[in-house]
Amino acid sequence: MAITTSLSGKTAIITGSNSGIGLGVARELARAGADVVLNSFSDRAEDHALAAALAAEFRVRARYIRADMSNPADCRGLIAQAGACDILINNAGIQHVAPIPVFPVEKWDAIIAINLSSAFHTTAAALPMMRAAGWGRVINIASAHGLTASPFKSAYVAAKHGIVGLTKVTALETAEEPITANAICPGYVLTPLVEAQIPDQMKTHGMDRDTVVREVMLARQPSRDFATVEQMGGTAVFLCSDAAAQITGTTISVDGGWTAL
């Protein structure tokens, strides 16, 4: 059987995709020929313009659908409104850092809802569509923190470990079908949000850009280099390919060696 990475005729829904990793993954899926549905909790003209730009650049169908990933009904409604879901990328996420005794309860609840529970709801809604189509890919964007831990990130680490577990269960429940479920575990990825943090870190530590990146921000990433959103997208495209048809229920680390330590 010929190995292909063409995703023409497939519809991909990417949660949390109006910037950063989500948008990078959407671009690479569109480049491979998939129709894409972008998503976030806002409903701005620029959100819809992102979809229009992808459609024009890659000659695919692209839409933006607002849905709040902290709301179970919105999560399931996103899939229903899209009307089709061959590829589900659960990417939406937030972060908060604090010691456990003073970790705000509302932050814990929000992180668990957006980073973990949303993936349960979207997957539950998407699997019947994938089964009806006879093909599907569930790709959860976890984290190096889905495999290891850091202090002061209790909710994030718990949610990302949970995403890895949910991925395994999804894979087992679909193991005899042409549907796979896997988790991508990034380390530090150079997104606009991360880029915006660099000047403040330079001031705080009195270092130039290269030094603060290597010695502070990437201290736990042995490659001392950021992963890119294009690499996240390329990994997702691979997991959608025929070559990855027997890869299911596992994690793929894109972390510069972080979890090898």
CB of 65 closer than 8 Å to CB of 122: no
Nearest-Å Rg of the Cα atoms of the chain is 18
Q: Collapse the DSSP code of 136 into the 3-class scheme (helix H, G, I; strand E, B; otherwise coil) and give the result.
A: strand
DSSP state of 191: -
Q: Is 188 a catalytic residue?
A: no
Active-site choice (58, 64, 108, 156)? 156
CB of 88 closer than 8 Å to CB of 122: yes
DSSP calls for 3-51: -----TT-EEEESS-SSHHHHHHHHHHHHTT-EEEEEES---HHHHHHH
Structural tokens at position 165: 């577990």
Q: Which residues are catalytic?
A: 156
